[in-house]
Structure 1
């Protein structure tokens, strides 16, 4: 779009500076059901006789919940058929995109329902970003909802050296739904609102005014618009049709439960991204997929950010955090005072100017000034270990050294979760796949869920 663009535990004693809740962050808007939503409807059952569905009972599956909330009028044009064929011929793409969406869909649908908006909007990131929070277009649109920088700032999405909230699943979803609601209120028509999301409301209004002056219809299909916008709603309609009846297109959607995938934790102390993932005992890639807004290897507590963790990781994270004896961050943050330079900061922390430049992405001609925040690496030589953690269990093992003195080593273990691979576990703990295979006597690549692996 123009402005956006396609392409659980409680407690007051918290010395680690975290607070958490098993509930998803909610929209500040008042929850409400669509006033025209029926309490029951007739729905086809694989092409057989229609059956009644009680809408007062929540479905177990998120796809069913999405189908029940459709409210955008359908369009049936040759372009829709073209995009149906395009997507149907790429079932692997639909499968991968739907799997990525599984992390975010419950939250997005919940937000949509609370605002009384059509649930088709939850499918819009299929078109915008393929549900990839890291997606970046040629026009620098970013995130699930593809906000360009200016529109992101207009919806209070912070963008600086440390973070880019256009990639934040919660903040960007709220901003996108705010924008879509504004566009619907502006046009009174969901097709025109969606076209405006892609092209800009000013462009759509000018196209409407042009047709009005010529006594021509002003609906979406009658407007003169760029090819991208002309294809935009047919793409969404095609995705909607496939989600409505995937079997008709020989596509199998992954099962996604109609329940929260993630919970939120608010933090007030710096923490390394890598350490946060380790404390949650989850692959670093998955942690980053839930927390893609952070630009650096350390998350600043002064920003009071919200971390997202899978619902089944929260108790593990908190237990490991309580047992953790080391520093939460391998970085200092230093706010430049008036007159300070890289040289004076380097001298203060016992490091080099070259190290500071590299850590902060500064070139030789980069300018810094009072109030800027620098990342300064600590002089820590060894990474602290976890003690009595919930899942990464230090086991004391004693071995003989040349038959004389005894040497004590730490053996770290990891319990395999659904979705884990040898590669993801190896990356999480900075070891090689060959190391894991040798240590655990694994010949192939398959690892069963629930197996306990030795890490080191």
Structure 2
């Protein structure tokens, strides 16, 4: 479907003359689609064509005729015929073609689980394609405004809908958990506005802005609000951009795109009770750190939190990982529990000890003890030093060192 021209095209001089006076009336229709900007990368940077006359269109969208808006299925609002939707279809097919194909391919790894979450939350599955224009399905996408992840949550909204955001974890990057948060947010917006176009606009600009415009009574729906210039340019573009992206995604080959690969991410879940580096998980599963990081995009420090975490591992490796981590945990506890002061390997020198007595007590020569610890002068070794015992040393009960005879005699003389 190509772009269409609606309304009268004004002569250049008249268009320039009337531009200032009619800017408010024209609203979003004064903007042409920027066919050179990728939607996410440009953050909807389509601007007015300075050398072109503005085009005015107060066209309303054509919706399926299946009763009143209240009775019509909410999914019907995603099948819209409108000139601005057509413009974005053309944009995706031409200058933004590479972006769209890459985003569609990337999204195929996440869409099955996203759609399942939306169904569980009783939200239309068509909304699973919203991250296509929000982020290009990039889990690590960050906007200029600080929105993060495939669904582009700002910190406050993410936390409001239950996403963990701290020094170890940012669940805005998690394609499953962020989808559930987005579904609940969108469901709340639909409950407030009763219209998916308004709900999508509110998702982009904030529900307070949309509610304020409705309260003013100047517009009844998104399209009127948009055409009359009551919305920011980005929000004006956001809804038709999404509808165009969805239209293509439902039948990519019909619009000249390749069918995305059917290769969704597959993984098992392993609960760990302590901090585990992702490189350790990669080594256990014989994969790369990049592969483990792709499965766990919310972990932005390359390690699981010390309080415990459910980590994703490659499909079929759950048992291997659980056994390996349990063994490592057991070995670590054994090392921590091992007594340091007196073992066949080490001995902590106590006040009054002599190196000769320590060597004799453990069945090694004084020379061997000095050599093992690189000690040149036995008289300069202080109490508290941990000595390495040479190979072949035997364990011995640590008895209190005997006082030197001359010291005892001196005390008795007092």
- TM-score range (shorter-chain normalised) is 0.5 to 0.7
Query: Secondary structure of the residue that 1:184 maps to in structure 2?
Result: helix
Alignment of structure 1 residues 387-426 onto 2, 5 Å: none
Count of matched residue pairs? 257
For 1:268 and 1:226, locate their aligned partners in 2 and report how far apart those are by CA, in whole Å.
47
Q: TM-score scaled by structure 1?
A: 0.52
Asked if the contact 2:270–2:312 (Cα under 8 Å) also holds between the matched residues in 1, the reply is yes
Alignment of structure 1 residues 146-225 onto 2, 5 Å: 146-210=152-216, 212=217, 214=218, 217-223=219-225, 224-225=230-231
For 2:162 and 2:121, locate their aligned partners in 1 and report how far apart those are by CA, in whole Å.
19
Residue 254 of structure 1 pairs with residue 260 of structure 2: yes
* Residue in structure 1 matched with residue 312 of structure 2 by the alignment: 308
Report which of the two structures shows the higher radius of gyration computed on alpha carbons. 2
Match of 1:276 among 252, 259, 281: 281
For 2:85 and 2:192, locate their aligned partners in 1 and report how far apart those are by CA, in whole Å.
26
Asked if the contact 1:279–1:321 (Cα under 8 Å) also holds between the matched residues in 2, the reply is no
Alignment of structure 1 residues 206-355 onto 2, 5 Å: 206-210=212-216, 212=217, 214=218, 217-223=219-225, 224-256=230-262, 261-302=266-307, 304-309=308-313, 313-319=314-320, 321-323=322-324, 327=328
For structure 2, the residue ranges without an aligned partner over 5 or more in a row are 1-38, 44-73, 333-414
For structure 1, the residue ranges without an aligned partner over 5 or more in a row are 8-68, 332-456
Give the CA deviation at 1:71. Answer: 4.5
Give the CA deviation at 1:327. Answer: 4.5
Q: TM-score scaled by structure 2?
A: 0.57
* Residue in structure 2 matched with residue 140 of structure 1 by the alignment: 146
For 1:320 and 1:231, locate their aligned partners in 2 and report how far apart those are by CA, in whole Å.
47
Alignment of structure 1 residues 122-133 onto 2, 5 Å: 122-133=128-139
Give the CA deviation at 1:70. Answer: 4.8
Moved over 4 A (4+): 323-328
**Per-residue CA distance 1:292-332 (angstroms, 9 max, x = gap):** 11121321241x322223xxx3323532553579857xx9x
For 1:326 and 1:73, locate their aligned partners in 2 and report how far apart those are by CA, in whole Å.
53
Greater alpha carbon shift after TM alignment, 107-116 vs 190-199: 107-116
* Residue in structure 1 matched with residue 389 of structure 2 by the alignment: none
Asked if the contact 1:71–1:118 (Cα under 8 Å) also holds between the matched residues in 2, the reply is no
* Residue in structure 1 matched with residue 12 of structure 2 by the alignment: none
Match of 1:84 among 73, 86, 89: 89
**Per-residue CA distance 1:351-409 (angstroms, 9 max, x = gap):** xxxxxxxxxxxxxxxxxxxxxxxxxxxxxxxxxxxxxxxxxxxxxxxxxxxxxxxxxxx
Match of 1:99 among 96, 105, 108: 105
Q: Structure 2 vs 1, CA of residues 295 and 200 (structure 1 numbering), >3 Å: closer, same or farther?
A: same
Query: Secondary structure of the residue that 1:308 maps to in structure 2?
Result: strand
Bigger share in strand: 1
